[in-house]
Amino acid sequence: MTLEVYRGSALDRAKGWNDLLPEERKRRAVEAARDQDAEALWTLTEAYLTLHGASGTSTSPKTLKAYRWAVVKFLTYAGDQAVNLLRATSGDGVRFIRTVEAGGLSPSSTRVQLAGVRLLYAALRWAEATQAAPFSDVKPVRDKTAAWDKRQPYTDAEVQALADGGDPRMRVLVLLCAHAGLRVSEALALTWNDVQLDARELRVLFGKGGKQRHVVFGETLRTALLALKSEGHVVGGSYPAAVERLQRLCARTGVPYRGHHALRHAAGTRLMREGASLDDVARHLGHSALETARIYAKWSDESLRRRIGQW
């Protein structure tokens, strides 16, 4: 048996900064910035996000991990470039983002970086350690790839091949993404307490933005779940392990690997092709905006292809 250090809840960790007298919070924040103490600066950022962010304590672990990655990446850059964190300028901010872009990071990942470092400086201003806002006017380079071209889904035949080619646990993971439309993080976090087999409905507790939703599913997924019925997490495991399993499954079945998100796109595309409304698609996938669901119409609409084919 191994022992793990208990870090408490996000709120418990936030109290460590919030309960300090303003002068002491400022002193510690200044000291952390001076020493470029990544752990202290991250806990300050997390505390600010927990106490003042829109999602509060419901901020998902995946989001926290992404923001922490951004903070650490910026601190590494600041150390290499001798940037004074408390006196950073907009020039420092834009050079960091351009460096990130030049390093091959995708536009979406660059936006995550920008959001993370903006939070870092919001936290430093909250602690009154600085008034600097080096990223307030920084904008990432516009993504020139059309949204639908980044969302190419697996075909129905490919989904079937992946579902048939995996063990019972992998079959469930494929169908949770491709039929229930779950994000891979939502699928891995799902527990049996969140599943109602008789009602063919499951509950997502920590969706994007910390939102909860109920998702209906069909008989194919229900049968797969019955074959796996157990306790605790339905699938569980880490994200890297899930990626590795899907890569192996794709190689074994001859299906081009497109990641787990392409399975979710398959769910949206199939719904659109079968005549579901944008509202139904958005509700099933947990989109907050109908415009996001509209992207799936591109992959389900064959009318343009038929018209051009007659030229």
Give the pLDDT of residue 68. Answer: 94
Is there a single domain that holds both residue 156 and residue 267?
A: yes
Q: Which of 91, 126, 161 is the last residue of a domain?
A: 126
pTM: 0.61
Is there a single domain that holds both residue 272 and residue 167?
A: yes
Is there a single domain that holds both residue 118 and residue 160?
A: no
More confident residue, 105 or 191: 191
More confident residue, 150 or 242: 242
Is there a single domain that holds both residue 161 and residue 294?
A: yes
Which of 230, 236, 244, 221 has the alpha carbon at shortest distance from 159? 221
| Residue 125 neighbours by CB under 8 Å, 6+ apart | 131, 132, 133
Q: Which of 126, 141, 171 is the last residue of a domain?
A: 126
Per-residue pLDDT at 298 exceeds 90:
no
The pLDDT-based confidence of 150 (bands split at 50, 70, 90) is low
Give the pLDDT of residue 290. Answer: 63
Give the pLDDT of residue 205. Answer: 81
Q: Which of 37-51, 104-118, 145-159, 236-250 comes out lowest in average pLDDT?
A: 145-159
Per-residue pLDDT at 304 exceeds 70:
no
Is there a single domain that holds both residue 110 and residue 157?
A: no
Per-residue pLDDT at 259 exceeds 80:
yes
Could you report the per-residue pLDDT of 197-209, keeping only the tens digit for each? 988 898 888 766 6
Alpha-carbon distances of 273 from 121, 244, 267, 303, rounded to whole Å: 45, 30, 10, 11
Is residue 58 one of the residues assigned to a domain? yes
Is there a single domain that holds both residue 296 and residue 155?
A: yes
Taking a C-beta distance cutoff of 8 angstroms, is the pair 213, 286 a contact?
Answer: yes
Per-residue pLDDT at 300 exceeds 50:
yes
Which of 108, 60, 69 has the alpha carbon at shortest distance from 259? 108
User: Three-state DSSP class for 191?
Assistant: strand
Is there a single domain that holds both residue 291 and residue 157?
A: yes
Per-residue pLDDT at 307 exceeds 60:
no
Is residue 175 one of the residues assigned to a domain? yes
Is residue 3 one of the residues assigned to a domain? no
Averaged pLDDT score across all residues of the chain: 85
Alpha-carbon distances of 224 from 89, 170, 243, 270, 280, rounded to whole Å: 55, 10, 20, 20, 24
Is residue 55 one of the residues assigned to a domain? yes
Could you report the per-residue pLDDT of 1-48, keeping only the tens digit for each? 343 443 567 888 899 999 999 999 999 999 999 999 999 999 999 999
Per-residue pLDDT at 77 exceeds 60:
yes
Could you report the per-residue pLDDT of 209-248, keeping only the tens digit for each? 667 788 888 899 999 999 987 788 999 888 888 889 999 9
Alpha-carbon distances of 7 from 43, 206, 268, rounded to whole Å: 11, 20, 38
Residue 136 burial (10 A CB sphere; 0-12, 13-18, 19+): exposed
Is residue 2 one of the residues assigned to a domain? no
The pLDDT-based confidence of 308 (bands split at 50, 70, 90) is very low
Mean pLDDT for the stretch of residues 145-167: 81
Tell me the percentage of the chain whose pLDDT exceeds 70.
Answer: 85
User: Three-state DSSP class for 284?
Assistant: helix
In this structure, what CATH number is given to the domain that contains residue 213? 1.10.443.10
**What total number of domains does the chain contain?**
2
Is residue 264 one of the residues assigned to a domain? yes
Mean pLDDT for the stretch of residues 167-174: 94
Is there a single domain that holds both residue 156 and residue 296?
A: yes
Per-residue pLDDT at 289 exceeds 50:
yes
Is residue 134 one of the residues assigned to a domain? no
Determine the structural domain holding residue 58 and report its residue range.
Answer: 10-126
Is there a single domain that holds both residue 110 and residue 186?
A: no
The pLDDT-based confidence of 297 (bands split at 50, 70, 90) is low
Mean pLDDT for the stretch of residues 290-310: 57
HEC string of 90-110 equals HHHHHHHHHHHHHCCCCHHHH
Is there a single domain that holds both residue 194 and residue 253?
A: yes
Taking a C-beta distance cutoff of 8 angstroms, is the pair 51, 119 a contact?
Answer: no
Is there a single domain that holds both residue 119 and residue 155?
A: no
Is there a single domain that holds both residue 176 and residue 262?
A: yes
Is residue 207 one of the residues assigned to a domain? yes
Per-residue pLDDT at 117 exceeds 90:
yes
